Structure formats: structure tokens, C-alpha cells
Structure 1
Amino acid sequence: MKVLCAGEPLVVLVPDRRGSLAAVGGFTPYAAGAELNTAIGLARLGVPSALACAVGDDPFGERIVRAARAEGVDTSCVARVEGYPTAVFFKQWAGLDGATSVYYYRSTSPMAQGRWELAPILQALKQGTWTWLHTTGITGMLGPEAAAGLTSLLTAARQGGCTVSFDINVRRKLADLAAWRALAAQVAPWVDWYFLGDEEAEALLGTSDPAAVAASLRACGFAGRGVIVKRGAAGAAACMGDEVLTVPAWPVAAVVDTVGAGDGFNAGFIAGMARGWPVAEAMRLGTLVGAFAVTAEGDYEGYPLWREAKRHLQQEEGVLR
């Protein structure tokens, strides 16, 4: 199976210490972004993946392309656009709880400005070049052209018989909840696997119960295979028709950074499905990758290679037996 991950990557600047960005001294740059994270997670798990996006023809765009290639991700669908800077964001760990907050600088990026040439990608989707498309709601909130591009991607994937997974991936700094609710409903008829975090489900649908979430999405036209609610430290739950599956989270000694954990879950789940596993086993791989993610700084730096993931899964299976 070949997976196309479509959406905007960014460079994240991670501070050298905790505290307000107004006071920290230095930063370390990393490639980041929901779809890039998932593509890299898949590649590390041995599943062929490609990234479709537009970045600036600048050093940060080059950093993203190099990072993706170094991880084995196909970058032939990454466009380099002159005159528009690559999107950037900063992480901050501050406050009494030390929670992660982010500051985005992406409104002038190529994708936010509608400089993403989709025609070749759409044609390839229609021809069945990829068997799975993964994307997120972020693309739909970058601007009107990007939103239209998201619709075109979903339509082309359907025409090409491609399985579609979609993570709503709410970013309140991009749009208000009303706009996110509208997008969540708009894409529902086009999606096979619908991912939401439990807090996102509560904010958008008023519930995080998987059966109730699935019912709400079905009322919007969802007729796909399943809805998955990611629950962080509580694991994940899936609703497929009348069946609800739950899997626990993997224990983690110390949480360093939670950003990227949800994208890691997506990669693990898709990788499990690519191997023909039962849904519960694919979810278990998803929670494993998510657990690895929180042990390191950077969005995807903690993601495991397939041999590492396989070892943990085999150890657990041995204990259960």
C-alpha cells in the first residue's frame, strides 16, 4: 500500500529552555506539521509514504524537504514556491503546569496564499497512484483556495478508489469553533476513517463517547468504516457500525512533549491497516507510536522504527499469553 499525506508542513522553533518566549535565549529548528509527521511515522514503520504540499523556496523549505527525504518519504509532490515564505511556528512551555502552547506564522505561506498547484496530484489520485490518502482539517482552514483544494483532494481520492483517513486536528488559532464544526460536517461524506481527539469531539459535537460521536457524524453523511476517538493517556476508542472497540495507552516513564502524538497514532493505525491487521491491533500500534512520540522533543523525533515497534508488540503479546 502507498499512502499520500497531503497538507502543509512547517518549521518549528523549539526553545532551549522552559519559560516565556519573551525570556528564552535560543531555539532549535525542526521540521513539523501534522501530515509530514504522519508521513514520517509511516516511513519509519516500513509503509511507503509521500508528502503533497507547497513550501517556500527558502532555507526553511529546504530543511523540510531534506528532513522528509532523510526519513524515506517521497517528496516528488512537494512544490517549492518563490516569493512566499515557508510556514513557521514556535513552541512555548510556560505557566504553572508547563503546558505546551504554540505561536503560528503561516498566513503568508504558499498554501495559505493559494499557491499550491494541485492538478498533477489530483490526476494521480484519480489514476490510483496511491491506495490511501491521509489529510487533516488544517488544510481547510488555511484560506479559501486551500479549502477548495481539500475538497478537490477528497473528490479525486473517491474517484480513484482510494481509502481516505481524515483527522480534524482543530487549531483554534486558525478559525473559531463554528467554522471547525462546519468543516467537520462538510468532509464527513468523503471519509472512510475519521479521527478526532476526545477534547476536539467534546468541543465540536458535545460528546466524546465514540458511539455518540459516530452518530453525529453519520447525521452529517458519514458512511465510512469507522470513527476513532483518541484519548491521550486513556488510549483510544473506535466505533464501527454498532461495534465499539477500546485499547489502552502504553505506559510512559516521563512525558517530554505531547505535540505529534496524535499524528503518530494516525501513522501507527494506518500502518497496521496496511498490513491487513484487525482494527484493534492497528489501534494498538497507533497508541504505541503515540506513546513513543511524547518521550522526545520535536513533533516526530520520538517515533519508533518498525523493528522497535515490533519488539514492543511481541513483548506485550508474550506477556498476555
Structure 2
Amino acid sequence: MTARSVLTFGEPLVAMVPSHPGAYCEGSPLTPYAAGAELNTAVGLVRLGVEAAFAAAVGQDPWGQLLIRQARAEGIDVRWVQESEAPTALLFKQWSGLQQATSVYYYRSTSPMAQGLWDVRPLAREVAAGRYRWVHATGITWMLGAQAREAADDLLDAARTGGSTVSFDVNIRYKLADKPAWRSLVDHVLPRLDWFFLGDEEAMALFGTKAADAVERAARGLGFLGQGVVVKWGAEGAQVSEGGRLTQVPACPVPRVVDTVGAGDGFNAGFIAGLMEGWPIEQAARLGAVVGAYAVTRVGDHTGYPSRAEALAELKGTEGVWR
């Protein structure tokens, strides 16, 4: 593992996904998929040709093995994935109602990371020694419990010591905590970040605006000293504010949206990968938009993420034939 690598950390889950829309009923078939915001970003990165490691704790059960196998199959370094007797976190997804809206039901309160069965001390030493060029996290980890919060803080502190670039996506989950708790978390982590990611609805909830430059000004008033802020607008694209310099990119159109879960994590992967390549901000954001667009075309959080060749072909405006 070299200093070109990215480390992501956070709780992975197995997503149980129905084979057809509608409310659950007896006998409805379900397919398990690897999921979790930080794992999704790691998958997106390696598909784009960036070395990535993933750190977490999973259960010593079939679901934990599924997560490890799938991460390893993607080419992710899983040396920092610990196994525990506690059960792996699960989620169940369904699409229901006239608009076929996505609903997610979590079963994670007894998971290893929720119970504090996650020892990050060996990893923190590696991070502090400068083994990773970039460290990426989301706010979900801090909301799993007091011990997970302490572990996440330790890893961010180690990243600062080791000279890693640090990015953070707030990734609000109101089933974990209420809005004041999320705002308090943002205030807590902002001084440690280089890049701050959030969605447009999260920006409105936390800062009363979805304009990236306004969010950046507010963040800097709270102690943010990093490089910039990224606000993802979904179908409207994204804005990046870097020291007040605003860059806006459009969304990449898709013929049919299947599932939007994982699109934001894919954007993060594309943006990080672009900056790791030394690309300009606009080009990195456009790569993020491409990965996010691919994400919504398939069931599963990261199933649809593109390969590097596919993403670059889309960026160049070529259609390509993939066999």
C-alpha cells in the first residue's frame, strides 16, 4: 500500500433488495447486496483505477463474509476489516407508492461497530505514519455510538498527523440522529477537513442554502480551514466552492433512473479520483457526475459504477461499445 492510496472507513451493511417494486409481502424474493456509503466510495475508486483500502468491523456470519468477499473481489484492500461475534448490519429496501419511492429499513443497533467492537489503534498508527494520501469518511460512523465516534475522531486526527487529505460527507440519516445532532457533528469535524461534501437537501437543512459558496462561507465561520465545499444537487448536477471560486457542473443524463441510492457516494469517488490524478476541479466534478449517473441505472448501491474506461469514454463524449 502506497501513499497514492485512499482509505475509507465506516460501517458496511448487507442490503436485502426485492426483485420487484411494491410493499413487502409473504414470499417476496430478496437479493443480498454489499452496501454502505464508505464501502460504495471505495468500490467507485478502485473501478476508476485508484488504490483503496476499507476499514470496518463486520460479524463472523455469512453476511460479514459476503461483504469481505465482494470488497476483495473489487480489488479493495480489506486488511483493516475486523470480524466480531456481533451480527453484521442489515438493511431492507423497497420501492412503494405511486411514485415508487425508495424506503430503507435498518437493522444495525447490535452490529460490531454500534457496540464499539472496533479497534482502530493499529490502523491509526499506519495513518499517522503517512501511509495514505487521502482519507474519506461520512457522518454515519460518528452516529453509531460513543465508541465509534471516538474511533472516527482518532482516525481523523491520525490523518491530519500523517498529512493525508481528509474528505467528509455528512450523509445525514435521521433514523440515527435528529437534525441538531447532525449540525453539532458538522461543527465538530469541520476544523479537521480539507473537503466537505453534502447533498442539496442536507445543505438546506444545516445551512439554509444549497449554494456551495454560501455553505463554504458558513463553514469557514465555524472553523473550516480546508480547500473547499461540494454540494451535490442530484439531477441538477453539483457545485464546488473553493475559496469562494464557484464551479458548477451539470448532471449526466440517463435514460431511466432505477435506484438513486449510492449516487452521491459514486460522485465522491469520481471527484476524489479526479483530484488524485491532478485534474482541475471542474473535470474532477464532471467525473463525479458520470459515476453518480451510472449508479442510478442499476439496483444495488454500487452495482452500476463504471470502470475507468467507461467513465473516461463518457467524459470524452464517446458512447463506446462494452462487451
TM-score by length of 1: 0.97
After TM superposition, what 4+ stretches of structure 1 lie above 2 angstroms from structure 2? 21-24
Q: Are 2:29 and 1:26 equivalent residues in the alignment? A: yes
Question: SS of the residue aligned with 1:66?
Answer: helix
Letter in 2 for 1:134: H
1:105 aligned to which of 101, 107, 110: 107
Question: SS of the residue aligned with 1:182?
Answer: helix
Name the structure 1 match of 2:317.
315
Name the structure 2 match of 1:94.
96
Distance 2:150 2:220 in 1: 23
Name the structure 2 match of 1:49.
52
Deviation of 1:95 (Å)? 1.2
Distance 1:308 1:87 in 2: 32
- Is the 8 Å Cα contact of residues 18 and 24 (structure 1) preserved in structure 2? no
Deviation of 1:316 (Å)? 6.2
Distance 1:23 1:235 in 2: 39
Name the structure 2 match of 1:15.
18
Question: SS of the residue aligned with 1:29?
Answer: strand
Distance 2:275 2:42 in 1: 15
- Is the 8 Å Cα contact of residues 12 and 36 (structure 2) preserved in structure 1? yes
Letter in 2 for 1:112: A
Q: Are 2:126 and 1:134 equivalent residues in the alignment? A: no
Question: SS of the residue aligned with 2:147?
Answer: helix
Unaligned runs of 5+ in 1: none
- Is the 8 Å Cα contact of residues 204 and 210 (structure 2) preserved in structure 1? yes
Q: How does 1:43-82 map onto structure 2 within 5 Å?
A: 43-82=46-85
Question: SS of the residue aligned with 2:64?
Answer: helix
- Is the 8 Å Cα contact of residues 166 and 193 (structure 1) preserved in structure 2? yes
Deviation of 1:23 (Å)? 5.4
Distance 1:170 1:159 in 2: 27
- Is the 8 Å Cα contact of residues 249 and 291 (structure 1) preserved in structure 2? yes
Letter in 1 for 2:54: L
Name the structure 1 match of 2:118.
116
Letter in 2 for 1:159: T
Question: SS of the residue aligned with 2:140?
Answer: helix
Deviation of 1:283 (Å)? 0.3
2:208 aligned to which of 199, 206, 209: 206
Deviation of 1:22 (Å)? 4.1
- Is the 8 Å Cα contact of residues 15 and 24 (structure 1) preserved in structure 2? no
| Larger mean Cα displacement after TM superposition, 299-308 or 17-26 | 17-26
Letter in 1 for 2:272: I
Root-mean-square deviation (Å): 1.1
Name the structure 2 match of 1:295.
297
Distance 2:278 2:195 in 1: 15
| Larger mean Cα displacement after TM superposition, 198-207 or 131-140 | 198-207
Distance 2:48 2:26 in 1: 39
1:38 aligned to which of 16, 23, 41: 41
Deviation of 1:288 (Å)? 0.3
Unaligned runs of 5+ in 2: none
Relative to structure 1, is the Cα distance of residues 257 and 24 closer, same or farther in structure 2, using a 3 angstrom cutoff?
A: farther
- Is the 8 Å Cα contact of residues 16 and 24 (structure 1) preserved in structure 2? no
Letter in 1 for 2:313: R
* Number of corresponding residues: 316
Letter in 2 for 1:128: G
Letter in 2 for 1:53: A
Distance 2:153 2:244 in 1: 29
- Is the 8 Å Cα contact of residues 112 and 118 (structure 2) preserved in structure 1? yes
Name the structure 2 match of 1:178.
180
Deviation of 1:298 (Å)? 0.1
Deviation of 1:315 (Å)? 2.2
1:53-88 superposed Cα distances (whole Å, 9 cap, x missing partner): 000011100000000000000000000112x00000
Letter in 2 for 1:277: W
1:183-224 superposed Cα distances (whole Å, 9 cap, x missing partner): 011100001010000001111111111111111111111010
Question: SS of the residue aligned with 1:187?
Answer: helix
